[in-house]
Chain A
Amino acid sequence: MTAKTGADRFVEFDHVQKSYDGETLVVKDLNLTMPKGEFLTMLGPSGSGKTTCLMMLAGFETATHGEIRLDGQPINMVPPHKRGIGMVFQNYALFPHMTVGENLSFPLEVRGLGKSEREAKIKRALDMVQMGSFINRRPAQLSGGQQQRIALARALVFDPSLVLMDEPLGALDKQLREHMQFEIKHLHESLGITVVYVTHDQGEALTMSDRVAVFNDGRIQQLAPPADLYERPDNSFVAQFIGENNKLPGTVEEISGDKCTVRLDDGEIIDATPVNVSQKGQRTLVSIRPERVEFKPEMMPEGAHTVDATVLEVIYMGDILRVVLRVAGSDDFVMKMRNTLGQTRLAAGQKIKVGWHPQDARALDPI
């Protein structure tokens, strides 16, 4: 950790706090280090402080306490226009009185670039987002998706090494949004830029990011690659916020190393991995992903505990079958089955036994 190079600490938040009114903290002690070239997503519900962090990085908000460093240099006192950070705004913020070409030319003009150089860069940036033929249009004549591309091209045209995106796909319809996610991801890979991306859409965060920082209540709840975040959430908030999740409240019955058993409130025993619990008798909330729940004994590990379940409803969703079960007294336990050719069909009212690998059930902090 001591021999970190500048490229590993390209963006750094060092004990950053932010308050607007002097009474409450919107951002509480934020510490974050980003290497060069990373795609990091700040994910969280609205009001969690993620946009404030982005605005502090862009220079539109000042940190109340702490230091923000870009490429090793503290930038707290650097005005936004000298930071050289490209930014894509939620509503695109394309200048309505300028054509697409003039919009892209603006950052180059204020940098004093010559006409021929400007034209070459504009052409390159527009070709990058496949909008080369739209150079003379006005933003109002473009569709949402096209405006999005232009906003992206404008943020990239002056070759910034860091690009910030503030919910850039929020206003697009689902299909276009998914398409743009891949396009942004590809641009990131091909240009080697560092991206900080803010969103409240967890699917978007998982699809695009190298790492995701889950924000809640002004703190980073977990900072991890998408797979870790989904499969190994650190706490109940992250488990709830990312993807669908079954919750089983109970008490730790036995704990040894990376395994524990939990007694549910109706007396049944289940296997789990201790995450936020350390001793016997603690209250906990066990979280299991619906697709990791098994009902065929051959799919469960040797000696795994099973729980009685009653099938309440089987919902046919095409690629999967969604089975709602009554487990330990609660009626919202969900199991997802792949819709394969030889899949056992369950029917409402059927009694089965469900189980799982202990590492898929995570004993988290109670909420």
Chain B
Amino acid sequence: MADTTSTTAAAPLTTADGRSLKAALATAQSRAKRRALFLVLPLFLFIVITFILPIGQMLHRSVKNDGFSANMPAISAWFAENPAGTEPDEAAYAALAADLQAASAAKTIGVVGTRVNYDMPGTRSLFTSSARKSKDFVAPFKESLLAADAKWGDPALWGVMRQVSKTYSGNFFLAAVDLARDADGKIIRAPEDRRIYVSLFVRTFFMAGLITGICLLIAFPVAHLLATLPLRYSNLLMILVLLPFWTSLLVRTTSWIVLLQTQGVINNSLVAGGLLSEENRIQMIYNQTGTIIAMTHILLPFMILPLYSVMRPIPPSYVRAARSLGATSWTAFRRIYLPQTLPGIGAGALLVFILAVGYYITPALVGGASGQLISNLIAFHMQDSLNWSLAAALAAILLGAVLILYWLYDRLVGIDNLKLG
């Protein structure tokens, strides 16, 4: 054995029967590889179908809206041929009239009107009513259309139509950050009364940050107790921590309503105890306070568990060593204990913040007007206004913000240090 290896040291290694060692290794491992692939495949497909595809669809929808371009092909073509700022000529009006007739016949004029209405409120009826009269339009179409409704001469309307005629545009993202395009296509701030999204984003991130902070303050001592108490006490405490997980989210939120409402348990007790007069009952729910209290309660376990998993393996000898080396208990905590819990703090904070930013049901139930988060508006655009593209754009911004946060965390703390349990 020894002499064969020494003589063939320079040549590629072969197995005993002369096959290439690399090929033999590949054959030997291929079975294991195939089996591994087979085991992972269902999960991979599941993730593609339920996660990657819907998110891709959502991102796609945030930039694509063919409500106008698909149903008004002629005028869309005219916009494409003529640069912005071109005065609409007879050809344009002719195309518009043809499109209106076609859309009216295909009964798609509602879709077109709605699409224009997103960017210029109050125009939906212009399209529907003009479509009804479209059979009567005759050349010259400009006069005919203007006779039907003088608004057709409005340069602003033409500007908006030029914008919406593009199947793909970033206009929904502009709208999501309170911006718009004017008739010339320049980006301007949205009208005062329509600037709601930026302030809502700010409020969402502020409240998510606040909830994360409160969760951390409450969770840290609890997790420390969990990690240091004797087993039988810590088990009991762990059950108390996990108890909310076993209760329906709706039940927990409703119980907060029972507790916090103006005629609720807390207010009643305060009034009965003479601490509060009847007319000064505190408004603790259907506002930001309610959202913060209920969401802190619901998200607390997500902070406690990662903290606990990081604290449990820290032996008490570290703090003892620090004390014996001359550190006060505060210094030992700050310089020795706290830095070692950072991966848990990071993981918990990231988890709670990301969950809080996209939280929907609790703010919807207890948030009132001032406690609404961006997710509630996304739901509104999905369900009520049916402006899915705007909803998608808002969601995409939220997703982007979370990804940036994740990236920042990776840069500052390192994702390898994340410990979730």
Residues of chain A touching chain B, judged by Cβ–Cβ distance below 8 Å, are 58-60, 79-87, 89-91, 93, 95-97, 106-107, 110-111, 154-155, 158, 164
Contacts and interface: CB of A to CB of B under 8 A. Distances in A.
Nearest to B332: A81
Contacts of A155: 324-325
Contact of B326 (A58, A84, A97): A84
Contacts of B322: 95, 106
Given A95-B336, A96-B340, A97-B339, A87 B327 contact: no
Contact of B324 (A81, A91, A97, A111): A81
B326 A91 contact: no
Interface in B309-343: 315, 317-318, 320-329, 331-332, 335-336, 339-340
A158 B315 CA distance: 24
A85 B340 contact: no
A106 B323 contact: no
A164 B339 CA distance: 26
A93 B323 CA distance: 12
A80 B323 contact: yes
B327 A110 contact: yes
Interface centre among B315, B321, B322, B324 (most CB of A within 10 A): B324
Given A95-B336, A96-B340, A106-B335, A111 B318 contact: no
A84 B325 CA distance: 7
A91 B315 contact: yes
A158 B324 contact: no
B324 A86 contact: yes
9 contacts: A79-B329, A80-B324, A86-B324, A87-B321, A89-B320, A95-B318, A106-B325, A110-B326, A110-B327
Contacts of B320: 58, 60, 80, 87, 89, 93
Nearest to B327: A110
Query: Chain B interface mostly helix, strand, loop or mixed?
Result: helix
Please give me the 10 A-B residue pairs with the lowest Cβ-Cβ distance, nearest first: A107-B325, A93-B321, A87-B324, A93-B317, A80-B323, A110-B327, A110-B326, A89-B317, A97-B339, A81-B323
A87 B315 CA distance: 16
A154 B325 contact: yes
Contacts, number: 67
Given A93-B317, A93-B320, A95-B318, A81 B327 contact: yes
A81 B340 contact: no
A97, A154, A158 pick with most chain B CB within 10 angstroms: A97
A128 to B, nearest CB: 17
Nearest to A102: B335
Given A95-B336, A96-B340, A97-B339, A81 B328 contact: yes
A110 B325 contact: yes
A87 B332 CA distance: 15
Contacts of A60: 320, 323
Contacts of A107: 325-327
Nearest to B321: A93
A210 to B, nearest CB: 23
Contacts of B336: 95
Interface string B30-43: 00000000000000
Contacts of A106: 322, 325, 327, 335
A356 B188 CA distance: 110
Contacts of B325: 81, 86-87, 106-107, 110, 154-155, 158
Contacts of A86: 324-325
A118 B339 CA distance: 22
Contact of B317 (A79, A81, A91, A110): A91
Given A106-B335, A110-B331, A93 B318 contact: yes
Contacts of A90: 317
A97 B340 contact: yes
A163 to B, nearest CB: 10
A111 B325 CA distance: 9
Contacts of B321: 87, 89, 93, 95
Given A81-B327, A91-B317, 16 more contacts: A58-B324, A60-B320, A79-B323, A79-B329, A81-B324, A81-B325, A81-B326, A87-B321, A90-B317, A95-B321, A95-B322, A96-B340, A97-B340, A106-B325, A154-B325, A158-B326
A59 B328 CA distance: 13
B338 to A, nearest CB: 10
Contacts of B326: 81-82, 84, 107, 110-111, 158
Interface in B65-107: none
A247 B230 CA distance: 43
A171 B329 CA distance: 28
A111 B327 CA distance: 8
A91 B321 CA distance: 11
Nearest to A111: B326
Contacts of B329: 79, 81
Contacts of B324: 58-59, 80-81, 83, 85-87, 155, 164
Contacts of B318: 93, 95
Nearest to B317: A93
Contacts of A158: 325-326
B418 to A, nearest CB: 16
Contacts of A93: 315, 317-318, 320-321
Nearest to A154: B325
A272 to B, nearest CB: 46
A50 B328 CA distance: 26
Nearest to B324: A87
A93 B322 CA distance: 9
A60 to B, nearest CB: 6
A209 to B, nearest CB: 22
A90 B321 CA distance: 11
The listed residue with most A CB atoms (<10 A of its CB), out of B325, B332, B340, is B325
Contacts of B331: 110
B23 to A, nearest CB: 39
B165 to A, nearest CB: 59
A110 B326 CA distance: 6
Contacts of B335: 106
With most chain B CB atoms within 10 A of its CB, the pick from A60, A81, A87, A90 is A81
